[in-house]
Amino acid sequence: MEPNALYGLEPHPEDQALREEIARLRASLTALLLQKDELLLIQSRRIEAAYLRRFGALELKLYECFCDCLRAKKKARLVRACCNRREQVDLEQIESALDEELVQYREELANRFRRVEGAAEYREGPGLTQRGQKELKELYRQAVKALHPDLHPGEDEKRTRALDQAMRAYKAGDLETLRTLCDSLGPTAETAVSTLDELRAEVKRLRAGIKTFNAQLEDIKSKYPFSVRVYLEDEAQGRAKEVELKKQLQDLRDRTARYEAEISGMLAPEDDEE
């Protein structure tokens, strides 16, 4: 019962309109929250796995050749510096220095290799039926509506833990965990607002939240892996992407060969004297 009804007073004309607007805005914000999580937790993994299955091996080879080219370039610079100073070229010391300097590139190469391997093994969810997938989405909608801090302002550690659990279950397609979680939630309690000022403030807060999430969605869609989805959906662009990657690969190989030839040329006089 509304506060004014307790005293037999007519509600302010603006009161009902504001409450209806809040209900509409909360529904819109809930939909945006679900859309964002669908993009980040489900679609992004699906798109990246598909992209890496098609282009991952080629991109991995490209990065490996980039690392080889970078190493050859730095090695040529160090050998040239020794020659310019008329110092003995200590290749073992140079190689050791390069190993230390380029460790982050080796780590990134290993990380990319793991991602390509993971894409080959990726399977979406635990084989849910169409009905199960529909139930999963509906249960997650219930969890978001009941737990998300943008719908329920204020810190609540228990609610945060429950939402994290719901997100993990949704990402993994864990229907049983979501069922158990939603059964424990009970009725969803809306944020208490009573005065006109509080209602107006809530409308303002929700509108700001919707604006923020719309901007976030556009930003997500503009970045990887959504930015490469076109190469999967358009076969002509996919073939063009392969051609471009192979061209870059050959260019790196040619540049590496030139650096290696330069190094051999700088070391050759010393070899001849021996």
What is the model's pLDDT at position 189?
Answer: 56
What is the model's pLDDT at position 269?
Answer: 61
What is the model's pLDDT at position 7?
Answer: 45
What is the model's pLDDT at position 273?
Answer: 44
Gap between the Cα atoms of 166 and 164, Å rounded: 5
Gap between the Cα atoms of 34 and 139, Å rounded: 11
- Model pTM? 0.82
What is the model's pLDDT at position 230?
Answer: 97
CA 133 centroid distance within chain: 22
What is the model's pLDDT at position 188?
Answer: 59
- Residues of the chain under the 50 pLDDT cut: 1-2, 5-8, 271-274
What is the model's pLDDT at position 5?
Answer: 47
Gap between the Cα atoms of 228 and 7, Å rounded: 61
What is the model's pLDDT at position 12?
Answer: 72
